[in-house]
Structure formats: C-alpha cells, structure tokens
Amino acid sequence: MAEGPRPKRRREEEEDEKPGAAPHDGAAAAAPFPLAELRLQRVLRESARDKAVFLHGEVTGPSGEGTDAVIILEKTPFQEEKLSDLLKKHVKLELQMRNDIYSTYHLYPPPELSEIKTTVVFPATEKHIQKYLRQDVHLVRETWEDYTQITLPFIQSQSFSVQWVYNILEKKAEADRIVHENPDPCDGFVLVPDFKWNQNQLDDLYLIALVRRRDLKSLRDLTAEHLPLLRNILREGEEAVTKRFGIAPSRLRVYLHYQPSYYHLHVHFTALGYEAPGSGVERAHLLADVIDNLAADPAFYQKRALTFALRADEPLFHKFREAGRA
C-alpha cells in the first residue's frame, strides 16, 4: 500500500531518459506517453458530475515487463468563444426525446471542439493507484438504538485525537487566526477559518465554530440544555462573518455534520454559493433546524433516526454490517 515497494522502478525510468531530449519547460523528457498501447486494467474511480474518470493501466516495455500507469481523463469546460462553432459545426444531431416545449438531443462535435484533458502518472506506484481508487459508499440509517449499541461504543473504542482543537481553544495554535470568540466556558465558542479555505477569495469562504466545552461529541449529544450555546454560535457567528468579511447571513450556510470527522462539537459556516464537500443532505444539518428541533422536542436527537453515508472500507461501516444494520 505504501510507496515503499517500488521506488526502484522510478529511478530506473529516470536513468533511461536522454538528457538531450528535454522540452522547453526543462522537465525530464521522453516520447509522448504510448496511450494507444495502454492495457486498461480497471476503472479506479469516476465522477459523473465532474465528467472525469481515473484509470489504472499497464504499459509493456521492450523486454516484456509491465509498468503501471494512472490516467485521468476529464472533459473540459465549454469555452465561450467556441460556442458558435459548436452549434454550427456538429457532425450529427440525434433527437432523443420530445415532450411539450422540451426536447433533448445527442450532439456530436468535430474532434477539434472535443478536447479531453488527460493526465498521466507514469510510472505509477501502488500508492498512486490506491489514492485514486474509489470505495463504494453506502447510506446507513442510524436509530437511537444503533447509536447506543454500535456507533457510541465504536467512538469510545477509538482514540480519536482532538488535541489540535484544544490547542486552538487554549491559544497554543492559530491564535492569530481567530475571527471571533465567546469566552463563556459553557456557552462559548471560537470561530476560525477552516484549513480548506486559503482566504484569498470569498467564493469558497469556510469557517468553523469550535465549542469551548469538551463533553459534546456530536449532534447525538444535543438537548434543549444546549440551546443557549447553539443560539450564540448562530447569532454571533453570523455577525462576526458580516463584520469581518462583509457577507450577509442570508448568504451563509451554517450547519453541523453527522457523522462529523472529529468528535468535538463544531459548526460549519460556508458561502452559500459554494457547494462545499459535506454540504449535501446526507451529511449536513442546518443549525437553524437543529435549534427548532430541540425547541420542539428536547430529546429530538436521542429519539430520531439519522441518515449518513459510510465508505465500505470504514471500520464503522463494518460494525453496522456485523450488526446486520447495513
């Protein structure tokens, strides 16, 4: 799995290269990758939304030995200046379906308008291949009983470290990044930019509110007792984002994850226009809804089933499967 087993192959490849053939960009050069001779081993992953596919292939060398390659194919965004050509110069236009004012077609454009971005990793190690390999994802619908009998024992058996959270709360790290804090030990929190946001543009704004108290793992621990804390986070967090970044509350998505990636209660603030990973209905819970649910029923999250997705290789998924619940 690790990079370990195959470093030698890469060094051999580099030694084979002719220094004189270096292209203008100064990188080590070679003939174009022999794409047509690639033997397709399997599809590692595909993304229908992104129109991309990740392939594992093998190239046979002169002495008959196979060398692994990873190939990423991705269709490219439309270019505005080529749209007229695309509409006019199609090779074929096939009617697929017609209903009322709507119709759909298959349009086949000429090659020069159909560029596919192709990325080659060659030679590829096992680690490269694993990196792009998709695992199946399954929905689990966790009842309160599932939580107490499967999920909670699992969380407790793992020693998930949240030292990095404590470092922020104690100002041992990222103290200069704090956007807002409420010092109350019970109903207080710290708001910081998420690691995923580089803060260069507001389009993908992403902040995290970390609660000060350390006894709340997730949504499942919340009761009406926590309403003051949750209302503080929503109101003060929105105000702080408006003040610092000029983004109005109506342009912010404020939510919790279930399952979270770490079991110290936290709330996500993302720009509404940014479809942040994890903002889908199968993982995100709007803080405003959580507050209303707890106000209507103080034990809402100790009663109700919650749906979430797990990768087939995750230990928690195995626990659900062993229990016959997935």
Q: Which residues contact 12 (CB under 8 A, 6 or more apart)?
A: none
| 8 A C-beta contact, residue 82 and residue 113 | yes
Question: For tokens 């993304």, what's the residue?
Answer: 47
Residues 222-261 that bind its own copies (CB under 8 A): 248-253, 255
Burial of 3 (0-12, 13-18, 19+ CB in 10 A): exposed
Q: Which stretch binds its own copies (CB under 8 A): 152-160, 180-188, 210-218, 271-279?
A: 271-279
Compute how many other C-beta atoms are within 10 angstroms of the C-beta atom of residue 229: 22
Q: How far is CA 240 from CA 7, 193, 262, in A?
A: 49, 12, 24
The reply to whether 147 sits in an annotated binding site is no
| 8 A C-beta contact, residue 221 and residue 308 | no
Residues 165-184 that bind its own copies (CB under 8 A): 167-168, 173-174, 177
Tell which one of 4, 18, 80, 183 touches its own copies (CB under 8 A). 80
| 96 near its own copies, judged by CB under 8 A | yes
- Which residue lies nearer to its own copies by CB, 186 or 295? 295
The reply to whether 266 sits in an annotated binding site is yes
Residues 273-302 that bind its own copies (CB under 8 A): 273-276, 279-286, 288-289, 292, 296-297
Tell which one of 60, 114, 130, 158 touches its own copies (CB under 8 A). 114
Q: Which residues contact 300 (CB under 8 A, 6 or more apart)?
A: 293, 294
Minimum CB–partner distance for residue 90 and its own copies (Å): 7
Minimum CB–partner distance for residue 143 and its own copies (Å): 10
- Which residue lies nearer to its own copies by CB, 227 or 309? 309
> Cα–chain-centroid distance for residue 145?
29
- Which residue lies nearer to its own copies by CB, 2 or 101? 101
Minimum CB–partner distance for residue 186 and its own copies (Å): 26
Q: 266 an active-site residue? A: yes
Residues 138-167 that bind its own copies (CB under 8 A): 138-141, 163-164, 167
Q: Which stretch binds its own copies (CB under 8 A): 77-85, 181-189, 229-237, 259-267?
A: 77-85
Burial of 7 (0-12, 13-18, 19+ CB in 10 A): exposed
| 8 A C-beta contact, residue 213 and residue 232 | no
**Rounded-to-integer distance, Cα 127 and Cα 137, Å:** 21
The size of the interface with its own copies (CB under 8 A), counted in residues, is: 121
Minimum CB–partner distance for residue 276 and its own copies (Å): 7
Minimum CB–partner distance for residue 243 and its own copies (Å): 19
Tell which one of 171, 304, 315, 322 touches its own copies (CB under 8 A). 304
Half-sphere exposure for 291 (CA within 13 Å, toward CB) = 15
Token representation of residue 132:
């792009």
The reply to whether 106 sits in an annotated binding site is no
What residue type is assigned to position 180 of the chain?
H
- Residue of 56, 266, 285, 318 marked active site: 266
Tell which one of 126, 187, 204, 221 touches its own copies (CB under 8 A). 204
Minimum CB–partner distance for residue 79 and its own copies (Å): 9
Q: Among candidates 198, 47, 205, 197, which has minimal Cα distance to 134?
A: 47
Compute how many other C-beta atoms are within 10 angstroms of the C-beta atom of residue 233: 28
| 8 A C-beta contact, residue 316 and residue 151 | yes
The reply to whether 260 sits in an annotated binding site is yes
The set of catalytic residues is 266
Summarize the annotated binding site for substrate as residue ranges.
164, 174, 194, 196, 257-268
Summarize the annotated binding site as residue ranges.
164, 174, 194, 196, 257-268
